[in-house]
Homo-oligomer: A and B are copies of this chain.
Amino acid sequence: MNAFMNYTRDKLWQIEQVGFDPEVLGKTEAIMALGNGYMGARASEEESYVGETRDIFVAGTFNQFDENEVTELPNVPDMWAMNFYFNGKSFTLLDGEVKDYRKKLNLKNGLLSREMIWICGDLKLKFVFRKFISKARRHVLSSHVKVQNMTDEVVKVHLRSGINGQVSNEGSQHFTDGEKGLMVGKYIQMMPQTTHSKIQFVQTVEHRITVPSKNRPETGRRSFFMNYDFELPSNGTVEIEKRGSIYTSIDNDLEFRDLEHIRIKAVDDMEAIEEMTFDDLLEESAIAWQKIWDKHPIIIESKNFKDQLAIRFATYHLHIMTPAHDERMNIGAKGMSGEGYKGHTFWDTEIFMLPYFTYTHPNIAKKLVTYRYLGLDGAHKKAKSNGLDGAQYPWEAAWPTDGEVTPVWGAADILTGQATKIWSGFIEQHITSDVAFGVKQYLDVTGDTQFAQEKGFEILIDTAKFWASRLEYNQEGDFYEIKDVIGPDEYKEHVNNNAYTNYTAYWNVSFAIQLIDSLRNDQQSVYERLNQKFNFTKLLKILQEKVNKIYLPRPTDEGIIPQDDSYLSKQILDLSVYKSKDGVDSLFHDYNLEQVNQMQVTKQADVLLLMLLFEDLFDKELKLKNFDYYEPKTTHDSSLSLSTHAILSADLGKLNESYDFFNKAIAIDMGEYMKSSDAGIHAASLGGIWQMVVFGYGGVRMFNSKLRIEPHLPKEWSHLEFGFDYQGEALTVKIDQAHFTVSKLDNGQNIVFMHKGQEYTLQNMVTI
């Protein structure tokens, strides 16, 4: 048994695994995950295996197991499993011979399929399993099996299939064993409820079998199964569909949210699609997917066909993981493809995933930034608990009003056996300026005045207010500093004046001053409303008093911006020996985290990320020096690192190096390493793929609130085509090695963009 990922030049919509290996189930469970933003599910097999993780999540349905654990997205009772017995023999690929095993995800229509021939004793059966979560009907999922008997003997089939609530999140059970019911004689329903947040679920399953069968319902603890007995004729075929739906009492598309109404609604909706086949439902879902693919399609002509596949892979996942339907929810760091990071939202959203939506689906981006507006209360709570003012965003966020949900204690330390404290929730504070940055970028790109006036400005000012209260006065030097933080480089805890943190805080404060000024001058009513909240006279005084005294680490004589006060004085370790081996793993075989903390070793882009996001603050020469200084010291032991390096090195003209980063970045989930994605896909990295293409090689960026387009393709690419929305206009950019063209329909407003310091006005098409 040897499973490997297989990508082919002629199948640029397909992620494929060839061969079955029970040791690496996690890989395809995660990278072939299904979803529609409302719910997400790992691509677990129909039959069960030791080592599997059968997650189904519904966005936003957070629950806390007990006071020792933080809230997390609960693993919903499983609806995918189907246990087959053929002539009394349990169907498992661990037994017998398996031929032609293929597991495939079609990115275009979200169809997951598995095919194989199974030979076991006298049995020879061909299977085609297919399943999807509907992009057209948010509550609906469906699974279809075609079994073909390849022998001349009739095969007796027993199928046990239903809803199994004996699953958990790594042992933590988030649901009560709710009511169960068999509705209209064919729909099995389970009604679990989350134990603490009291969210009511209604799960419904119906089976449709193409041959007559003897049926027996079977209820048990946390489970409701149907048992089917039927015959598979010699050389014949049977098809089984298992169709299901999930509703919850926090669904925003329900008129009535009490249990009885939801149950009836669930049955009504199942009955409404009774006439539709599996393929009908799939087709309808494919049409919904096509709308996504039709909006700003990206075409990459590259020597390496995987580049095209990668951007589709990223786009697919960005859509299945994003709760575009409900602004009370946001994107988890693993999407809904695994239990990692508990479904929590990090700065990953603003710095890595949000840009994709801001530029290509501003309506979805609006939901994501609105989530942060709804999070203001939680952010106030957090600031207050630290004796501070304004909005301090939680390092990890779940339900928006919950505030900070970062776990306080992590896994036990290997040496001491004692649990290690997780400091991020306390001192990884740059998240607050990251949120502000995301809002500002959203406003710049979309020109969404209404959101700005109703919500966005408030976030930008409230976060600045937080920073003003956070700054610590240094009497000796007469400046304000930010001590005891974690910057983006999480190897370094409890550092003073992390450059990324200080610079972004400075930006946040200074932008708020500008903003208040401009509101007073230009938007009197907004000013008045916000003034009620903030008392601008007093706030401005504080902001202005402090802004110019914020300590911004300056370059050393060698032109290096110190990552923090102590970084440059630490011991330098030659990482190249580790990078040439298996990377970080081998480093941590030689040193523990405490030791790495004492060396100039960086987990991920920190100073360099600052230079990418605030490019106008640093000149190219300085950026080059810092790139050459920090990159060799960076382990890239975070999926947030490679894409930043790819874009920055592209900006700096290091295109070959950039393309190396690009290739490593797309391999984070899609690569050959079969254990990479066990806890879920790397959401930020997927946002990073889009950014590498559009920001990095497409050269699109907001620079001083102006659109700039400065493409530079890697030499392996002959052509790149993409689109985005800017200020309500849909732009298309086509790039080859010599020229590029920006175009839009000419019935909108003219668009001004910058290229190499020059302004271009786009009415219909500009070729440069």
Contact = CB atoms under 8 A, between A and B. Distances in A.
Interface in A582-626: none
Contacts of A167: 171
Contacts of A220: 170, 411
Nearest to A48: B50
Contacts of A219: 411-412, 414, 417
Contact of A417 (B1, B165, B181): B181
A638 interface: no
B65 A171 contact: no
B171 A171 contact: no
A219 B410 CA distance: 9
Nearest to A174: B173
Kindly name the residue among A181, A412, A415 whose own CB sees the greatest number of chain B CB atoms within 10 A: A412
A469 interface: no
A90 B22 contact: yes
Contact of A68 (B170, B177, B216, B419): B177
Nearest to A85: B23
A172 B222 contact: yes
A93 B166 CA distance: 25
Contact of A195 (B66, B95, B170, B216): B66
Nearest to A95: B94
A179 interface: yes
Given A217-B417, A412-B224, A171 B182 contact: no
Given A49-B50, A50-B49, A412-B180, A170 B222 contact: yes
Given A90-B22, A177-B68, A180-B419, A414 B171 contact: no
A170 B221 contact: yes
A270 B289 CA distance: 61
Nearest to A221: B170
A173 B177 contact: no
A755 to B, nearest CB: 51
B414 A65 contact: no
A418 interface: yes
Nearest to A175: B171
A176 interface: yes
A398 to B, nearest CB: 17
A43 B176 CA distance: 29
B412 A66 contact: no
A69 interface: yes
Contacts of A414: 182, 216-219
Contacts of A172: 173, 177, 221-222
A412 B217 CA distance: 9
A182 B417 contact: yes
Nearest to A216: B414
A254 interface: no
Given A165-B171, A166-B168, A181 B418 contact: yes
Contacts of A532: none
A419 B179 contact: yes
Contacts of A411: 219-221
Contacts of A171: 165-168, 173, 177, 221-222
A280 to B, nearest CB: 28
Nearest to A417: B182
A92 interface: yes
A416 interface: yes
Interface in A122-176: 165-168, 170-173, 176
A224 B416 CA distance: 13
A176 B68 contact: yes
Contacts of A422: none
Nearest to A166: B171
A454 to B, nearest CB: 41
Interface string A701-726: 00000000000000000000000000
A745 interface: no
Interface in A178-233: 178-183, 188-189, 195, 216-222, 224
A92 B90 contact: no
Kindly name the residue among A48, A167, A182 whose own CB sees the greatest number of chain B CB atoms within 10 A: A182
A190 to B, nearest CB: 10
Interface in A40-93: 48-50, 65-66, 68-69, 90, 92
Contacts of A180: 412, 417, 419
Interface string A436-463: 0000000000000000000000000000
A168 B166 CA distance: 9
A381 B433 CA distance: 60
A350 B412 CA distance: 47
A168 B168 contact: yes
B222 A177 contact: no
A248 to B, nearest CB: 18
Contacts of A418: 181
A95 B189 CA distance: 37
A176 B66 contact: yes
A188 B417 CA distance: 8
Contacts of A48: 50
A180 to B, nearest CB: 4
Nearest to A69: B177
A419 B172 CA distance: 25
A183 B50 contact: no
Nearest to A88: B23
Kindly name the residue among A173, A183, A415 whose own CB sees the greatest number of chain B CB atoms within 10 A: A173
Interface in A252-272: none
A187 to B, nearest CB: 9
A188 B411 CA distance: 14
A186 B172 CA distance: 27
Nearest to A90: B23
A496 B212 CA distance: 45
Which 8 residue pairs spanning A and B have beta carbons closest together?
A182-B417, A166-B171, A181-B417, A219-B412, A94-B94, A173-B173, A219-B411, A171-B222
Given A23-B90, A217-B414, A219-B411, 13 more contacts: A50-B92, A68-B176, A69-B176, A92-B94, A166-B168, A166-B170, A171-B177, A171-B222, A180-B417, A182-B416, A183-B417, A189-B417, A219-B414
15 contacts: A1-B95, A50-B50, A68-B178, A69-B176, A94-B94, A168-B168, A170-B220, A181-B412, A181-B417, A182-B414, A182-B416, A183-B417, A217-B412, A217-B417, A221-B411
